[in-house]
Structure formats: C-alpha cells, structure tokens
Structure 1
Amino acid sequence: MHAFILSFFLLTAQAANAPQQLTVTDQGEAVEKIELEQYGLSYLDNLFINQDKLKILLDELDKKISVEPKNATLNKTGEIVEGKPGIRLDKPKFQTLFSSSFYKDKPKKIEVPTKSNYPRVDTELLAEIKEKEIGHYVTYFKKGNKERSHNIKLATDAINNYVVFPGEKFSFNKIVGERTTEKGYKKAPVIVKGELAEDIGGGICQVSSTLYNAVSLKGIKIVERYSHSRSVPYVPPGRDATVSWWGPDFVFKNMYNQPILIRATSVDGKMDIGIFSSDAAELHSSK
C-alpha cells in the first residue's frame, strides 16, 4: 500500500479564494505546501473551518491518490483472471486529522489515510455467473474490410466481460465511449439518413445489433433502441440497433435477480456474443 504524506504549513499570507493546487507523490515523499489558514472563516477570526473549501480539498486529494479497482475477468480460454482492489481517500479520518492540525500552532506532517476500494466483480461472483448461457447471437462481416473490422474489434473488447447487476441499465454509448481517432477508431462505411457514407467508428452498429439480439430475453427490458433508416445485411429486418455518440443509444435493463455477464468476441469475420448468468437466475421484476 502506498503511503501518502500531506505537509501542512501555517503561513500568514492572505487566504485565497480556493485551495492551492495539490501535488501528491508516493514513497513517503512530501506534497506541495497547503496553507491551513485559507480554510478558516475569516469573519469569525479563523475559529471555524470553511467546510466548502475543505470539501474542494477532499475531492481534489481523492482524485489524485485514488487507484481504481480492477474487476475479475475471463481470458480468451475462459479462465478467471483475478481482480485487484484499488485505494481511495478515507475522508472521515482525513477530516479528523485535518481539524486537529488546523487548530495547532506548529506545522505538522500527517500520513493521508486511505482505504481499500474493492472491485464489484470478484473471482467468486464471476465463477458463479459464467457457467450458464442464457442468450447467444452470431453475426458475420467481411474481414477484408480492415477499417470496419478494426472498429468492430475495439467496440467488442469494450463490452466484453461487462457485468450488469440486477436492476441496472446497460448503455452502449456509455460503456463503449465516444468513438474517436485518439481511441484508435478509423473511418469506415456508415448509414446516414438512408445513405452510405464514411465516418469515424463505422461498423460498431453491428456490435450493438448483435448485442441487441443476444439480450432479447424474457429477463431483459429494452429501454432504448433505434433501427437504421435502411436495412443492414448482418441481421434480419427490424432486428438492428443503431448507435451514434451524438444520437441514438442502445440501452437495456437487467430484470433478473442475478447479475448477467457479457462475453463478446470478434475473430475472422465472426461477431459472437453470449450472455451468461447464475443457475439461480430468474425474472425478478417486470417494472
């Protein structure tokens, strides 16, 4: 576990309107100066802490030291890859230490308290929900179209191993994210107002459409889905789900009493999506 040190220096300079920028380092090194007096309420002779400024400090410090946990996943052979816990600022402990230091006359270094941030999907949960396939769908594409195949692979990787908990919604746009050249997406054919054109991320509608057909189950509620303005060759008419970052999204809700796992692959012109869950999975609610 990394140790984070925060240096407090009691200075007499005029209080700023916002906390000074923080620089947090690990390996026991000190961070940049923070003037405690700027967190006082000046009209009360600094007898009380300005809670608004302290909240900004807490949020900024949390962002700088936080390490996101990694969920357990399945590799290409179906074996479980164990997840890893992350760390976060222990805000209640920090506030106690901050208040104690605020009212003392001497500068003081304190170790910033952290706490473990455990992944939502651990090995035990993944082992339980990976066995029973409840939905499956396959589509095909021309692997010779390298740009389109590349985009399909990126979007497939983004949704692979994703777990949707009971009552949660899955948003394709949110999970896959914006399709940009910075993320590796390339220009490929897309349908715009009934006409073929080229745009960044062309081809990913095949991923969303394959997923739509895979989750067309009794325990899945389709919340948002739009069809293309013309038929597409990879799914039957009316069975597609077009998506666009600034436009349509594909959203569904897990109505089962158990989490569901999305397993998606894109290899040699074959787009394959399986939906898995626990043996105990059953319809939980129709709302």
Structure 2
Amino acid sequence: MNNEAVVEKDIINPKNYKLKISMVISILVILICGYMVYSFNNNYMYNGKIANNIFVEDVNISLMTKEEAIALVSQNYKTEALLLNYNGKTFDILPEDIDLKYNVEEVINSAYNYTKTDSYFENVKRLFQLEKTNQNFTLENSFDEAKLSKHLENVAEKINVPVKNAKLYISGGSFNVRPSTTGKEFDVATNKEAIYEAINSRKYGEISLKVNDINPKISTEMVKSVDTLLAQHSTTFSTNLAGRAENIRVSSNRISDVLLMPGEVYSYNNLTGIRTIANGYYNAPVIVNGDLEDAPGGGVCQTSTTLYNAVLYSGLKIEQVKNHSITSSYAPRGKDAMVNDSGSDLKFSNPYDHPIYVKSIVSGGTLTCQIYGNSADKPNVDIKIDPFPMGAKTYRIFKDASGNKIKTEYIATSVYKK
C-alpha cells in the first residue's frame, strides 16, 4: 500500500512533468528549425539556381540554372563582324578572325556563386538584400591583339600606296617628266582606336578607316617648272689618254641628271665617290704637290672645273671651291676647281624658288656641263677675274636685262705655285 502511493506520487510530480514537456518542445523546435533551414537551403540557397533579382547588364537571369543563364545572355549579347570601309571598299573582320568574345561563362559563374561561396551568414544576408535591390554583373570583351594587328597589316597592304617623287629627264634638249604620286598610308593607331571603341561600346558595323595622304617632296609641278637652260660650259680633252678620258666619262655620268631643290646643297665628292680602282676609276696623271703623278681618278678635276664654270654663270651659290696648286691646262686662273678624297670638294646650293637640274655630257673629246632651271631665274652674269702675280681673285657680276650692274659678288681667291 505504501509502495503504490510512492509510485503514484512520483508519476504526478509537476516538476518532472514540466521538464519532460520542455524537452519534447525543444526537440520539436529543433526539428522544425532544422527542417526549415534544410528547406530554405534546398529551395533558396543551394538549389542549383541563381538567386532572385540577379542581372547581367540588361538580362534578368533570376532563378535560372547556369546553363539557362549562359544560353540567354549569349543570345542577347553576340559579337558581330566589324566592317572597315575605305574608298568604296569593305574589309570584314569576323569575330573568329581575332577570337573576339564576351566572358559570359565567367560572369554567370560569378552571378551563380553570389549567394553560395561566402560564409553562410553572409550568403543569407545577400539573399535577403536581393529582395530589396538588384545585383548587376557586367560583361567584358576579349580578343587576340596579335591577330587583330596581323589582320590590319593585311588590310593596310591593300590600301597603302607608296609615295613617288616626280622625276625629270633631259636629253638632247627634250624635257621628260615622270609625274609624282601622292602616297596613301593606313593610319594604324587611329584605326585601332576606332576598332577598340566599336568593340567596347558594342556598336558593331561600319567603321570608316583613316588613311593619310603622303605628299611627295618633289611634285610634278615643281619638276615642270624647270623649263630652260640657265648656263653651260664646255672643255676639251685628249681621248688618247685612255685612263684619263675614262675617268672624265665616269665622273661625268655620276654627277649628271641631278635635281637640286631650293636650298639643297650639291656635293661633287658625294656623287662621284672615292677615286679608287675598286670604285670604277683608272690610273691617270694627277697633280700632287705641284707635280704630275699617276693615280686612280686622274681627270676628275676637269669634270669638277667644267661644272664649276657652268655653276658660276647660272647664278648658283658657291659653298666650297678650291683651286689647283698649279695653273690648269683646261681653265684659266681663278676658274678651276680642284677636288680630292681628303676633303677638297666642289659644293654649291640652289638659291632659287624653283628646282635646278644638273646635266653632264661627254661627246668625243668634249665635256659639257649644263644647268637647267626656271626661265624666271635665268641670270645675266659676268665673271670678273682680277689677277695678281701668284694667282687671281674671282668675282661674279649680276646685271639686269638692260645690262646695268645690280651687284658684285666675291667668289674666291686662287693662289698657285710658279
């Protein structure tokens, strides 16, 4: 009887009853919360889909799988051909030509992982924030710069036109002109910038290419302005001295058919080159320290002297001239021009606003040097030689059309051995 009373009393103990009820409720709460978290995760967090209110630029990819989002974004943002236009011609650059593409997969992965790769609580926080605001991802393009450069090189080859200077050929008093050509040069830097802008702005389609005009330094009009003979001078030589005669012929050919633009300087030595056997010259008598010796190039001073006299009478500016050490047989004192490889040169420049043309001709035993130019530049010139016991002073006198003296110009002082 007493034992039964104890058991009954224990069963109905209020404290034990409340504890058990509390434990049951706690377990139920844990189970319900766990289920809710499980359900939340499966339905909203780790459901294999992108979260709500996620955009790639203007495309809503909310609640899509990665594959669905990639397909949708790729459909809305496609790379297209670039059409390069110049002078009625079109040159296509296809996306595959330069590996042009958008980083769609990379961006979709970032969008997918926006609520999945950080800490759990950060992911939940982002998920709830997305209920109030959108999250936008931006596409970026990429292409192969080397392939683009190579493609543009091919386009440039089809567009570029080499610039050509006009040329003048005078033979037998006949003037023949080869016209100049304006060059065309594909502007690589500017055209690349236009392509970059089109790709970055996604405004595909036509791009007008920039091509620069390259003007010739010597135009057809400049060359055509040479229309008359300004001056000429001739000397004679013996054809019996074969080496010397050949040197005159070689040097005459090398200094001839030269167009000298306004302000340019003509160098006899630069045109003839050093006087050596290897350079096409022959042994012949040369004045060395007042004596005649055989050496390569003997005779070239007759060519320089003949040219010098033509230059004097044409009014060109004498930049450098030096006389021989003894009086020459083919020119009087004060009118010879000695040249050598050690520095003595005949140099003159063009003072006119038009080009001048130097012509040198050998015919039999006669050497003739001619200076052609514009008829408006043709001077009226006299050469005055003031002799003195050991040499002469050379002057050039300019006159007007009526023969009145305009000015007297000192040219050089020549000193010779006895």
Match of 2:293 among 179, 184, 197: 197
Instruction: Name the TM-score, length of structure 1 as normaliser.
Output: 0.61
Residues 127 and 84 of structure 1: CA distance in aligned 2, closer, same or farther (over 3 Å): closer
Rounded to whole Å, the distance in 2 between the matches of 1:217 and 1:279 is: 14
The residue that corresponds to 1:8 in the other structure is none
Per-residue CA distance 1:163-220 (angstroms, 9 max, x = gap)? 2222222111123233333432212111111111122221111111011111113732
Larger Rg: 2
Residues 258 and 184 of structure 1: CA distance in aligned 2, closer, same or farther (over 3 Å): same
Query: What is the root-mean-square deviation of aligned Cα atoms in Å?
Result: 4.2
Query: Could you say which structure has the greater relative contact order, defined with CA pairs below 8 angstroms and 6 or more residues apart?
Result: 1
Q: Is this contact kept in 2: 1:87–1:114, CA < 8 A?
A: no
SS of the aligned residue for 2:377 comes to: coil
Q: Does 1:130 align with 2:215?
A: no
Residues 121 and 188 of structure 1: CA distance in aligned 2, closer, same or farther (over 3 Å): farther
Rounded to whole Å, the distance in 1 between the matches of 2:266 and 2:305 is: 14
The residue that corresponds to 2:243 in the other structure is 147
Match of 1:174 among 270, 274, 277: 270
Q: Is this contact kept in 2: 1:265–1:272, CA < 8 A?
A: yes
Consecutive unaligned residues of structure 1, counting only runs of 5 or more, are 1-35, 37-65, 101-112
Structure 2 matches for 1:38-49, cutoff 5 A? none
Residues 99 and 180 of structure 1: CA distance in aligned 2, closer, same or farther (over 3 Å): farther
The residue that corresponds to 1:53 in the other structure is none
Rounded to whole Å, the distance in 1 between the matches of 2:337 and 2:164 is: 31
The residue that corresponds to 2:395 in the other structure is none
Opposite residue 217 of structure 1, the aligned amino acid is Y
Consecutive unaligned residues of structure 2, counting only runs of 5 or more, are 1-145, 147-161, 195-210, 380-406, 410-418
Residues 97 and 209 of structure 1: CA distance in aligned 2, closer, same or farther (over 3 Å): same
Q: CA deviation at 1:259?
A: 2.1
Structure 2 matches for 1:228-239, cutoff 5 A? 228-239=324-335
Rounded to whole Å, the distance in 2 between the matches of 1:138 and 1:217 is: 12
Structure 2 matches for 1:8-19, cutoff 5 A? none
Q: CA deviation at 1:278?
A: 1.1
Structure 2 matches for 1:19-168, cutoff 5 A? 71-75=167-171, 77-83=172-178, 90=185, 93-94=187-188, 118=216, 120=218, 122=220, 124-131=221-228, 133-168=229-264
The residue that corresponds to 1:264 in the other structure is 360
Q: Identity across aligned pairs (percent)? A: 30
Structure 2 matches for 1:242-253, cutoff 5 A? 242-253=338-349
Q: Is this contact kept in 2: 1:257–1:282, CA < 8 A?
A: no
Instruction: Name the TM-score, length of structure 2 as normaliser.
Output: 0.44
Q: Does 1:211 align with 2:303?
A: no
Residues 179 and 282 of structure 1: CA distance in aligned 2, closer, same or farther (over 3 Å): same
Rounded to whole Å, the distance in 2 between the matches of 1:149 and 1:115 is: 47
Match of 2:377 among 272, 281, 285: 281
Q: How many residues align?
A: 222
The residue that corresponds to 1:186 in the other structure is 282
